[in-house]
Structure 1
Amino acid sequence: MVCGRLVHDVAQVADFSQKMLPPSFEHPFGTDQLGRDMLARAVAGLATSLSIGLVAAVASTVIALLLSVAAAIGGPRVDALVAGLIDLMSSVPHLVLLILISCVAGRGLAGVTIGMALTHWPGLARVLRAEMRSVLARPYIAQSRSLGVGACRIAVEHLLPAVVPQVLVGAILALPHAVLHESSITFLGFGLSPDEPALGVILAEAMGYLTAGAWWLALYPGAVLALSVTLFAHVGELARSVLDPRSMQE
C-alpha cells in the first residue's frame, strides 16, 4: 500500500525543466508535457487498472455464481428468467453497455468499477448454469431429493463443489478483460478522471503529441497494457488447463 502510494505520488510530480524528454537512462520511458516520469506513470496506471480489474472480476464472478445457483435451485421459471437475462445482456454491445452503466453510476473510479462488475458476468454465468444443469441431471441428485434433501443443501454440497474450477478460471480470465475495458472507456473519455494516472488517461493524452514526434508517450504505456493483458490471459488459460479436466483431455 505504501509502495503504491509512493509510485502514485512520483507519477504526479511535475518538473517543467524535464518536459518532453525522450527515453534515456534517467527516464527510461521518457517524460511527458509536464515533465512527469513516464515509467512511474505507466506503473501507477497499471496498478490502478489492476486494482479496478480485480474488484470488478471478483464482483462479476460472485454475480454469475449467485444467478447460476438461483437458476439451478429456483425452478423452471427462475431458470428461464436467468437465461433471458443472460441473453439480454449478451445481445447488447459490451463496450456500449459498459459506457452507459458507468455514466449512470457517476463515472470516475466507482462508476467504472460498477459498470464492469455489472457487465462481465454473462459469459461465466452461462458456463456455470450449463454445468449446474448437468450436475442436477445425475442420478445421485435424484436420490438425494427422494431422501428429502433440500435444494439449498444440494447447492452447497453438490453444485458449488462441482463448479469450483470454472469459477476460479472465470475469475482469472475476467481480470485481463476488465483491465482492457477500463483502459478503453477511459481512453474514450467515459471512465476515470484525467487527474488519475491510469493507462487510458495516459494514452488519451499521448494522442495529442504524436504528431510532434513524442512517440514514447504512447508506445511504452501501450506496451505495458498489452503485455499485462496478454500475461494474465495466458495465466487464465494455464489455470483452465490445470483445473478443468475436460480441457486437459482435449
Structure 2
Amino acid sequence: MTEHGIVDERTRAWRLLAGNPVTVLSALTLLAVLVIALTATWIAPYGVNDVDVPQALRPPSGAHWLGADELGRDVLSRVLIAVQASMKVAVISVTFAAVLGVTLGVLAGYRGGWLDTVVMRMVDVMFAFPVLLLALSIVAVLGPGLTTTILAIGIVYIPIFARVARASTLSVRVEPYVAMSRTMGTGSGYILARHIVPNITGPLIVQLSLSLAFAILSEAALSFLGLGLQPPAPSLGRMIFDSQGFVTLAWWMAVFPGLAIFVIVLACNLLGDSLRDVLDPKQRTMIEARRRR
C-alpha cells in the first residue's frame, strides 16, 4: 500500500468513528472529565479539607449534593479534586511511558540486530511481573507520594508501548515507500520522522486510551493501599478505603468515588475498543459491510 493509500484509509477510519454513537458518547464523557480535571479547583463548592462536624455523615442534599463524609467534608468537592489528581497522574504517567516506550520500540524495530534483542529482553523481564505488583515494588522502594506514583505507573507501562511500537515498525519498515527512501539515500532520522512514526499512530492511539484506563485503576489501587497520594490530598482510591467503616451508615462515601472511577475507565475502554475496530483494516471492512446492508 502506498503512503497516500494509508492516508485514505485513515480518513475512512475517522469517518466511521464519527458515525458511531458509542464512540462519540465516550469521547464526550472523557472531554467532560478533562474539563472537570482542569477546572475542579474553581468549581468545587467547598474546600476539600473544610471540616464541619455537625454535618458529618449527612446524606445528599441541597447543601451537599453528594453528601458529607465522617468529618463533614463535602463529598462532591473531594470527588472533583480527586478526579483532577487521578487524571494528572494518569496523563503524565502514560505520556512518560509512551515517549520512552515508543522511542525504544521504534528504534528496536527499525534497527533490529543487537539493539532489538537487548530492548526486547528487557521488556520481557518487565512483563514477567504483574503490573500492579511491579508498581507496588517501585513505590515501596521510593516511598509513597504523587511523584513516585506517577513514576511507578509510567515505568510499568513502558514495555507495553515498546512492544506495540516495535510490532508496528516491523510491518511499516518493509513498505515500498520506505525501501524507496532508503535507495535514494534518505537518512534514517528523516525516514523515522516522515514515514515510520506517522504510520504507526493508529495502534499507539488505541494503546494510549486503554493505558489511561489502567493508569486510573492503578492509581486508585495504590491509593487504596496507602501507597499512592497521601492525605490530606483527596484520592478516589483513598476515599473508598476511608468509607469502609461507614458503608451501612453513609453509602454515598463509597458509591460516588467508585462511580467516578467506573465512568472514566468505561469511557476509556469503550473509546479504545472503537478505535481498535476502525483502525484495524479487517474490522473496519466488516463494519462498513454491515452498514451497507
Question: TM-score higher than 0.5 here?
Answer: yes
Change (3 A) 1:62 1:8: farther
Picking from 234, 237, 240, the partner of 2:270 is: 234
| Alpha-carbon shift at residue 238 of structure 1 (Å) | 2.5
Matched residues in 2 for 1:50 and 1:2: separation? 9
Change (3 A) 1:141 1:39: same
Match in the other structure for 2:212: 175
| Alpha-carbon shift at residue 60 of structure 1 (Å) | 1.2
**Structure 2 unaligned spans of 5+:** 1-36, 287-293
Match in the other structure for 2:255: 219
| Alpha-carbon shift at residue 9 of structure 1 (Å) | 5.8
* Paired residues of 1:99 and 1:185 also in contact (CA < 8 A): yes
Deviations 1:144-172 (A, max 9, x none): 33333332222122211111122222222
Matched residues in 1 for 2:197 and 2:130: separation? 30
Task: Map 1:112-131 to 2 at 5 A.
Answer: 112-131=149-168
Picking from 34, 43, 50, the partner of 2:80 is: 43
Pair 1:95 & 2:132 matched? yes
Matched residues in 2 for 1:183 and 1:101: separation? 16
Pair 1:59 & 2:93 matched? no
Match in the other structure for 1:142: 179
Picking from 49, 53, 58, the partner of 1:16 is: 53
SS at match of 2:103: helix
Match in the other structure for 1:202: 239
CA RMSD of aligned residues (A): 2.1
* Paired residues of 1:103 and 1:111 also in contact (CA < 8 A): no
Deviations 1:208-245 (A, max 9, x none): 323x5222211221112111211122122223334443
* Paired residues of 2:144 and 2:228 also in contact (CA < 8 A): yes
Aligned length: 249
SS at match of 1:77: helix
Matched residues in 2 for 1:148 and 1:135: separation? 18
* Paired residues of 1:105 and 1:114 also in contact (CA < 8 A): no
SS at match of 1:14: coil
SS at match of 2:47: helix
Normalised by the length of structure 2, the TM-score is 0.78
| Alpha-carbon shift at residue 143 of structure 1 (Å) | 3.6
| Alpha-carbon shift at residue 2 of structure 1 (Å) | 8.2
Matched residues in 2 for 1:51 and 1:81: separation? 32
* Paired residues of 2:97 and 2:155 also in contact (CA < 8 A): yes
* Aligned residues with identical type, % of pairs: 32
Normalised by the length of structure 1, the TM-score is 0.91
| Alpha-carbon shift at residue 204 of structure 1 (Å) | 1.1
Matched residues in 1 for 2:285 and 2:83: separation? 36
**Structure 1 unaligned spans of 5+:** none
Identify which range, 42-51 or 120-129, moves more after superposition. 120-129
Deviations 1:52-103 (A, max 9, x none): 1111121111112101122023331011111112211111011010111223
| Alpha-carbon shift at residue 132 of structure 1 (Å) | 0.6
Matched residues in 1 for 2:113 and 2:245: separation? 55
Matched residues in 2 for 1:115 and 1:246: separation? 36
Matched residues in 1 for 2:274 and 2:154: separation? 24
Task: Map 1:151-166 to 2 at 5 A.
Answer: 151-166=188-203
Match in the other structure for 2:290: none
Deviations 1:183-218 (A, max 9, x none): 0111011111021111011111111323x5222211
* Paired residues of 1:61 and 1:170 also in contact (CA < 8 A): no
Matched residues in 2 for 1:106 and 1:5: separation? 27
